[in-house]
Amino acid sequence: MIMSQAQGAQSLASMVEQELSSLQIVDYLELVATVLYCYDFSLTVSKEFKTIWTRRFSIATLLFIVCRYTTFINRGVRVLQLYSWHNHLESQADLVPVRWFGE
């Protein structure tokens, strides 16, 4: 059975809408994971200062610091990317009219 252009356009529109919805869910889950990471970071920072920063510097200390703080910086950059991307989409949504096939 051959689909008409209008049915094809509606099908394509629903697929795009579902994909955008799933991307938004992934972004929210990533934000939740970042908040949990920051919460854990804040709970353990006092112990870190007592055990890591007061001991003699070694390779293990360096590895701990690199892993802990690069992840913290990465999460901050990623949240800024998500925030700027959503703002960009919202600002462009009002400028571009959406027209589907057959209109």
Does residue 100 sit within a domain? no
Quickly list H helices, 1-103: 5-51, 59-93
Q: For residue 70, what are the domain limits?
A: 7-93
Tell me how far apart the alpha carbons of residues 39 and 31 are, in angstroms, rounded to a whole number. Answer: 12
pLDDT at 22: 72
Place of tokens 């870190």: 48
**Phi and psi torsions of 54, nearest 5°:** -95, -10
Tell me how far apart the alpha carbons of residues 44 and 27 are, in angstroms, rounded to a whole number. Answer: 26
Q: How confident is the model at residue 1 (pLDDT cuts 50, 70, 90)?
A: very low
29-55 pLDDT per residue, tens: 888 999 999 999 999 999 999 999 999
Handedness of CA 35, 36, 39, 45 (dihedral sign): negative
CA neighbor of 75 nearest in space, from 24, 42, 36, 46: 36
Tell me how far apart the alpha carbons of residues 50 and 52 are, in angstroms, rounded to a whole number. Answer: 6
Does residue 83 sit within a domain? yes
Tell me how far apart the alpha carbons of residues 35 and 21 are, in angstroms, rounded to a whole number. Answer: 21
Number of domains composing the chain: 1
**What does the pLDDT average to over 70-91?**
81
Does residue 2 sit within a domain? no
Does residue 1 sit within a domain? no
